[in-house]
């Protein structure tokens, strides 16, 4: 299918998010991060950093102070990355934010551990105490040190347990509760920082600067995580309309409200949903939109994987819903008039509305949908209707069919992709599914000649 250049340009324009300013790029976010780090380093140097060459004690203490300052600063960024603030999400997208959140967490832990070790060594050399004696002196003689030790222990526990949760694929609720302790850890660190920080003594400007950093972080969380969802609810009055079964263990939740045509959620995006009933009001979960918004209702589709998702079928009509979002860069314009959409399992949820929207915009759309068996296919009737009415070519890749058990990885081997989609090198590719499938596809797509800039991905996992 060949499209005139003007039509392709117009269709692409409909896929771009009009609300994203041009300056919201990764470069802008990195500039903000690095600029503030240099300000902190400047204050540290002018306050006490220049003393590091005087003695071994001053050297270790100086290194300990700067690692503590930078570790605490990056911990504030960890809160912002964990909260998925709209401006950061627009800069990086969900996947890159997930990676940044993970590695920044390791860096925070390393810097704060270094702070503890170097400060202990520095004070030991100055006071002539052993490690146990120095720690005892810290706790009994320095205000806020016990809280700082507890904060460090919490940071260690958060990182260790987060790694365990990710490897064992434990519930979202477990991840969520573990990360709530990050707020307590940062509060304890702040009290220690202001009470005993040498670099703050007689330096009201540096103290004011740190208060501003904390205020900006906490203010962002309050505005974007609390006030904005409440304002959206006040404007649209989101409520559950109905719950319908789609496939084995998969249910769609239909949500209605006022003036939904003015709510900016697009096909391919996701939001964080909080259902305000007695059992679920304290839980917020990210789910993708699974149908093109029609101005009358929204649809999300949820697979039963335990905890919250196991009880989604019991949601009652009329339940109020708080929505935080929208998020996601899956709506960015295709770089080609030909598009390949690849879904694995419940990853079909953003792919299904994308297929409809792109086909309506005039793109040549193909869909590869991998599932375990026929009973696990979600939206099969809808996808078949898209094939019949909009010319969308859909291939169902089943790992269990006709009594045969196939290797699910083999569906996405380079030779198989070339056979299924001979013109793959000419297509923009959108992929959504579990992380293992994504890693396999990244290498396979590169092997068949798809440039990295033509690949858009959305992985189903939490940070």
Is the previous residue joined to 94 through a cis bond, with omega within 30 degrees of 0? Answer: no
What is residue 370's predicted lDDT score, i.e. its pLDDT?
A: 93
Query: Which pLDDT belongs to residue 421?
Result: 94
pLDDT at 349: 93
Q: Which CATH architecture describes the domain 237-327?
A: Beta Barrel (2.40)
Q: Which CATH architecture has domain 21-232?
A: Up-down Bundle (1.20)
Q: What is the pLDDT of residue 445?
A: 93
> What's the pLDDT at 8?
29
Rounded Cα gap, residues 97 and 162, in angstroms: 16
**Below-50 pLDDT ranges, the chain:** 1-19, 462-463
d(CA 435, CA 344): 10
Residue 179 has what pLDDT?
Answer: 74
Exposed (0-12), middle (13-18) or buried (19+): which is 365, by Cβ within 10 Å? Answer: buried
Q: Cα angle at 119 between 115 and 122, to 5 degrees?
A: 145
**What per-residue confidence (pLDDT) applies to 293?**
92
Residues 6+ apart with CB under 8 A from 389: none
Residue 422 — φ and ψ, nearest 5°?
Answer: -60, -30
DSSP string, 265-302: --TT-EEEEEE-STTTTT--EEEEB-S---SSEEEEEE
Q: Is 338-459 in CATH node 3.40.720.10?
A: no
pLDDT value at position 363?
A: 94
Tokens linked to 209: 């600067």
Element (H, E) at 177: helix 172-196
The ranges assigned to domains in the chain are: 21-232, 237-327, 338-459
């Amino acid at each position: 299918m060949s499209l005139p250049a003007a039509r392709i340009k117009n269709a692409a324009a409909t896929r771009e998010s009009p609300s994203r300013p041009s300056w919201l790029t990764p470069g802008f976010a990195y500039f903000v991060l690095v600029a503030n780090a240099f300000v902190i380093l400047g204050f540290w140097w002018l306050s006490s950093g220049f003393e590091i060459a005087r003695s071994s004690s001053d050297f270790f203490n100086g290194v300990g102070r700067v690692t503590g300052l930078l570790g605490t600063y990056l911990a504030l960024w960890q809160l912002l990355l964990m909260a998925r603030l709209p401006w950061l999400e627009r800069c990086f997208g969900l996947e890159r934010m997930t990676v940044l959140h993970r590695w920044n967490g390791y860096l925070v832990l390393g810097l704060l551990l270094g702070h503890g070790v170097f400060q202990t060594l520095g004070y030991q050399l100055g006071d002539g105490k052993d490690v146990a004696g120095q720690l005892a002196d810290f706790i009994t003689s320095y205000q806020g040190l016990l809280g700082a030790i507890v904060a460090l222990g919490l940071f260690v526990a958060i990182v260790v347990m987060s790694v365990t949760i990710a490897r064992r694929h434990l519930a979202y609720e477990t991840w969520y509760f573990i990360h709530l302790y990050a707020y307590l850890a940062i509060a304890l660190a702040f009290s220690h920082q202001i009470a005993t920080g040498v670099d703050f003594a007689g330096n009201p400007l540096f103290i004011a600067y740190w208060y501003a950093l904390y205020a900006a972080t906490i203010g962002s969380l309050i505005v974007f995580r609390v006030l904005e969802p409440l304002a959206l609810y006040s404007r649209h009055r989101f409520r559950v309309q109905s719950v319908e079964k789609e496939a084995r263990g998969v249910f769609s939740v239909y949500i209605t409200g006022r003036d939904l045509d003015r709510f900016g959620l697009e096909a391919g995006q996701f939001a964080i949903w909080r259902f305000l009933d007695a059992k679920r009001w304290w839980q917020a979960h990210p789910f993708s939109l699974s149908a093109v918004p029609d101005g009358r209702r929204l649809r999300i589709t949820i697979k039963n994987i335990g905890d919250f998702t196991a009880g989604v079928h019991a949601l009652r009509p009329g339940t109020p819903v708080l929505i935080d979002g929208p998020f996601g860069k899956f709506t960015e314009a295709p770089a080609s008039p030909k598009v390949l959409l690849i879904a694995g399992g419940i990853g079909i949820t953003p792919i299904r509305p994308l297929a409809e929207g792109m086909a309506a915009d005039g793109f040549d759309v193909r869909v590869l949908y991998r599932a375990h068996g026929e009973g696990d296919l979600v939206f099969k009737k809808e996808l078949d209707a898209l094939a019949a009415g909009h010319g969308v070519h859909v291939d169902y890749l089943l790992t269990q069919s006709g009594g045969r058990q196939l290797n699910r990885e083999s569906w996405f081997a380079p030779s198989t992709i070339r056979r299924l989609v001979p013109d793959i090198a000419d297509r923009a590719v959108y992929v959504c599914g579990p992380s293992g499938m994504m890693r396999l596809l990244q290498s396979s797509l590169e092997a068949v000649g798809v440039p990295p800039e033509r690949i858009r991905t959305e992985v189903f996992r939490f940070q």
